[in-house]
């Protein structure tokens, strides 16, 4: 059963006609954790705003929890939770008061509301901070509370727009664990936007890679990385003025990418090929600053399809 169905969805802005979302189609299964991965300006947040009824599409259709986002907005809104990219907590209230206020908006009765608040506080490990004013919370605590608020009313679909933006590595990992636990315990479908490859890889069953308003690839993280295959050997040069043809001509190199001071070579058994690469470079007078051997990542998938890195 599909929790989300998107068909040929487009959002163009009046005036310049810019297509922030350009004829995209995808579906998300009930209970799935799904990511839209891409750089800033790729169209991820615009897509989420359409799916949460905050923006009207120019054309195409989208259904969330079985309801059309253009024709049945109220039913969509009753079925979803959302954690925005920008903080939206009331910093003058305590954590418990923020949750209580949100639960009241959704018409949850007093007894159920109190029980539910305790459940979500426990899940995000904020029981001992529940009665502290949010202004005193750390960035990670605020994000955890926003997650708790987003699913306190037991939505069918939870949207997370850049859920770990600006958090340190340790806190980000903790939020990831909360998201996984939430998905497992509550069975809620989770759709998140991110530009962190590791986040999408760690959390999601499937990933849609977005760039310039389009979905350029969609599959499981493993299948996307298998598109690249083999080992990747990255060479950092001391100068951009060097002859790259010497690496293209190596018979064991199956793909070649040049990026600023780096050359990335794809090959089988890269660990055994590095001595030969270094010998060719030495013979041709090319000075290599560093060598890195690794397996493909979602960053490499993005580079493969767009010719540039996601951080650009």
On whether the CB atoms of residues 178 and 123 are closer than 8 A, the answer is yes
On whether the CB atoms of residues 224 and 207 are closer than 8 A, the answer is yes
pLDDT of residue 311: 66
The bridge status of strand 157-161 relative to strand 189-194 is parallel
On whether the CB atoms of residues 141 and 167 are closer than 8 A, the answer is no
pLDDT of residue 216: 95
pLDDT of residue 240: 61
Query: Residue 32 and residue 310: Cα distance in Å, rounded?
Result: 24
> Cα 51 to the chain's mean position, in Å?
16
Q: Which residues pair with 211 in a beta bridge?
A: 214
The bridge status of strand 206-211 relative to strand 33-37 is parallel
Per-residue tens of pLDDT for the chain, all 312 residues:
899 999 999 999 887 789 999 999 999 999 999 999 999 899 999 999 999 999 999 999 999 999 999 999 999 999 999 998 888 899 999 999 999 999 999 999 999 999 999 999 998 999 999 999 999 999 999 999 999 999 999 999 999 999 998 888 888 898 999 999 989 988 999 999 999 999 999 999 999 999 999 999 999 999 998 888 778 898 888 766 667 778 888 889 888 888 777 888 888 888 888 999 999 888 888 888 899 988 888 988 898 888 777 765
Annotate 238-288 with DSSP letters as a single string.
S-S-S-THHHHT-TT--EEEEETTEEEEEESSHHHHHHHHHHHHHHHTPPE
Closest CA to 44 of 20, 14, 19: 20
170-to-95, 155, 176, 305, 311 alpha-carbon distances in Å: 22, 28, 10, 31, 21
Query: Residue 81 and residue 156: Cα distance in Å, rounded?
Result: 8
Residue with tokens 């190596």: 250
pLDDT of residue 281: 87
179-to-26, 80, 110, 186, 257 alpha-carbon distances in Å: 22, 15, 26, 10, 36
pLDDT of residue 173: 92
Domains of the chain: 2-224 (3.40.50.300), 230-295 (3.30.70.2470)
The H or E element containing residue 68 is: strand 67-68
Which tokens belong to 307? 């010719």
Full-model pTM:
0.83
pLDDT of residue 241: 63
């Amino acid at each position: 059963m599909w929790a989300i169905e998107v068909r040929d969805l487009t959002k163009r802005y009046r005036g310049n006609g810019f297509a922030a979302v350009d004829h995209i189609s995808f579906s998300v299964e009930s209970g799935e954790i799904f990511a839209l991965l891409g750089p800033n300006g790729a169209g991820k947040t615009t897509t989420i705003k359409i799916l949460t009824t905050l923006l009207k599409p120019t054309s195409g259709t989208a259904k969330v929890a079985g309801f059309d986002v253009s024709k049945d907005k109220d039913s969509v809104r009753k079925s979803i939770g959302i954690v925005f990219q920008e903080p939206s907590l009331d910093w003058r209230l305590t954590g418990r008061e923020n949750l209580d206020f949100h639960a009241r908006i959704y018409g949850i009765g007093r007894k159920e509301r109190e029980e539910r608040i305790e459940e979500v506080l426990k899940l995000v490990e904020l029981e001992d901070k529940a009665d502290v004013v949010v202004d005193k919370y750390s960035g990670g605590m605020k994000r955890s509370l926003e997650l708790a608020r987003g699913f306190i009313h037991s939505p069918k679909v939870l949207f997370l727009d850049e859920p770990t933006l600006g958090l340190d590595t340790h806190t980000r990992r903790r939020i990831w664990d909360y998201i996984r636990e939430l998905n497992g315990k509550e069975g809620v479908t989770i759709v998140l936007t991110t530009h962190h490859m590791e986040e999408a890889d760690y959390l999601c069953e499937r990933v849609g890679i977005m760039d310039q308003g389009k979905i350029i690839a969609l599959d499981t993280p493993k299948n996307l990385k298998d598109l690249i295959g083999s080992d990747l050997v990255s060479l950092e040069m001391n100068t951009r003025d060097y002859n790259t043809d010497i690496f293209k001509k190596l018979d064991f190199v199956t793909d070649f990418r040049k990026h600023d001071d780096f050359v990335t070579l794809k090959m089988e058994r890269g660990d055994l090929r590095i001595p030969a690469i270094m010998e060719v470079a030495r013979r041709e007078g090319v000075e290599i600053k560093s060598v890195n051997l690794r397996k493909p990542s979602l960053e490499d998938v993005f580079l493969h399809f767009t010719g540039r890195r996601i951080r650009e």
